[in-house]
Amino acid sequence: MGAAQPGGDTGTAYERLAMLHSPTDRASAAAAELRARMDFVPLDQADAVIAVGGDGFMLDTLHDMLEAQRVLPVFGLNLGTVGFLMNRYRASGDLAARIARAKPLAVSPLRMEAVTQAGETEVSCAINEVSLLRETRQTAKLEISVNDRVRIPELAGDGALLATPVGSTAYNLSANGPILPLDSHLLALTAISPFRPRRWPGAILPDTSRVTFRVREPAKRPVAVVADQKEVRDVAEVRVEIARELEMTLLFDPGHALDERILAEQFVQ
């Protein structure tokens, strides 16, 4: 197997590739086929990773690397449903050559610090979004500050979320939030089923912003926060900002990069 060169100008060779796959039958069969065609190394010896599965598996892979504090470039192959973060799976062809031509995309996660009503602090990262959600039938009431200045004294509704450009087409879009181009250096602050102010359209913020959510009447109106898949219940305050030191690299086939998909999504009828 020859060395794979990234599609950017870094000049780094991806000579040692590891492969991870989701446990589904389709992904497992594809992984077996790839092992018959290529040589792979263990993850701790790799220069880059091939992730075979869907978007959820890609997020799991990235989170596992963040937790292990060894973040490698990842080339995803879609054997899931949507595959927004993935490349098309092909049963034939030179995968090493595809990786050599791949376009690198740098993304940074959100860092969430959540303080519970009991005074405990939980820290987690989110690649897509951080969401605050009501836990009961009671409407959630949130005070929202940006860079330590209160912008909304009280948002009443099901909750609110802060999304990265990568996550702007996920839960954020379903909540009627804006789609953000990947090179925009912006974050989407979006209300979830707002009751008051009912017509608040949300906000688009520079990605240098620090956003703080404070839960009003937390005993009566308990709120949970979710950073991608990790949930913390009964929160009192949540602080969110970009973790630039945790930058990750996704690799995409030319013409199928995520920035093009985000642009195309805005014209779907």
- What is the set of active-site residues? 55
Confirm or deny that 55 is annotated as ligand binding: yes
Confirm or deny that 129 is annotated as ligand binding: yes
Which amino acid, residue 145? Answer: S
Instruction: Report residue 133 CA to chain centroid gap.
Output: 18
Confirm or deny that 235 is annotated as ligand binding: no
Confirm or deny that 170 is annotated as ligand binding: yes
Which residue from 213, 177, 200, 192 is spatially nearest to 139, judged by alpha carbons? 192
For 38-77, the DSSP string reads S----GGG-SEEEEEE-HHHHHHHHHHHHHHT----EEEE
Confirm or deny that 128 is annotated as ligand binding: yes
Confirm or deny that 224 is annotated as ligand binding: no
Residue 237 CB neighbours (<10 A): 18
Residue 261 CB neighbours (<10 A): 15
Confirm or deny that 173 is annotated as ligand binding: yes
Which amino acid, residue 168? Answer: S
Residue 94 CB neighbours (<10 A): 15
Confirm or deny that 147 is annotated as ligand binding: no
How open is the CA angle 176-183-78, to the nearest 5 degrees?
70
Confirm or deny that 172 is annotated as ligand binding: yes
Residue 168 CB neighbours (<10 A): 26
Q: Is 60 exposed, middle or buried (0-12, 13-18, 19+ CB in 10 A)?
A: middle
Confirm or deny that 174 is annotated as ligand binding: yes
Which residue from 103, 104, 95, 38 is spatially nearest to 71, judged by alpha carbons? 104
Neighbouring C-alpha atoms within 13 Å toward the C-beta of 3: 8
Per the annotation, where are the binding residues?
Answer: 55-56, 128-129, 158, 166, 169-174
Per the annotation, where are the binding residues for NAD(+)?
Answer: 55-56, 128-129, 158, 166, 169-174
